[in-house]
Chains A and B, each alone.
Chain A
Amino acid sequence: DTGVSQNPRHKITKRGQNVTFRCDPISEHNRLYWYRQTLGQGPEFLTYFQNEAQLEKSRLLSDRFSAERPKGSFSTLEIQRTEQGDSAMYLCASRPRTSTDTQYFGPGTRLTVL
């Protein structure tokens, strides 16, 4: 399968715990995006990487959130001291080097904070 993959697909955690999600983009895509989606809403942009450089972060990305893409391939999104409001679907998408703006999405990681 050459699509975007995300792990885990589901995560249930208790409030205050730290969680980490992983995204593996399509191999030749140098651009990677994280989004958060709550029930009944469209995805909201969180952050963007070009290769290993994090070029943009949304104000939604509080200091409890951190994202990395150390070798310009896979990326991780960590949430520290989780809160119930962090419960959402976390989506990753990648985009190739070409000029197209089309993004290819992974299946998402559904986080439930109890």
Chain B
Amino acid sequence: SQQGEEDPQALSIQEGENATMNCSYKTSINNLQWYRQNSGRGLVHLILIRSNEREKHSGRLRVTLDTSKKSSSLLITASRAADTASYFCATERQLTFGSGTQLTVLP
């Protein structure tokens, strides 16, 4: 069974807007990671947040983690057409993935 579940399943926004995706998981974790996948390609690691961290930034990415609610969010600011991809959260070393959020950024 998949531990991480992303929400929404699909998101369509205009270029320049912010995109927020959420992830919920079931069991205790040491860290949570976000990955991006362009259509038909492998996954690219975006950011890792540890269980003792609440927020982390990397460029236009901002990730939050709430271990009490077993949830995380990924915010992409000032989105670009090139951000169009599927986004997955994953937990632990085996990387248990959810079904992903398909983000479409319209020019």
Contacts and interface: CB of A to CB of B under 8 A. Distances in A.
Interface in A20-62: 33, 35, 40-45, 48, 56
Interface in A72-114: 89, 91, 93, 95, 100-108, 110
Contacts of A42: 2, 4, 88, 90, 97-100
Considering residues A89, A93, A105, which has the most beta carbons from chain B within 10 angstroms of its beta carbon? A105
Given A101-B33, A101-B48, A106 B42 contact: yes
Contacts of A91: 42-43
Contact of B43 (A41, A48, A100, A105): A105
In terms of DSSP, what is the predominant structure of the interface of chain B?
loop
A33 B42 contact: no
B93 A101 contact: yes
Nearest to B89: A42
Sorting the interface of chain B by its residue count into under 10, 10 to 19, 20 to 34 or 35 or more gives: 20 to 34
B42 A102 contact: no
A32 to B, nearest CB: 12
Interface string B22-55: 0000000011010100001111110010000000
Interface of B: 2, 4, 30-31, 33, 35, 40-45, 48, 88, 90, 92-100
Interface of A: 4, 33, 35, 40-45, 48, 56, 89, 91, 93, 95, 100-108, 110
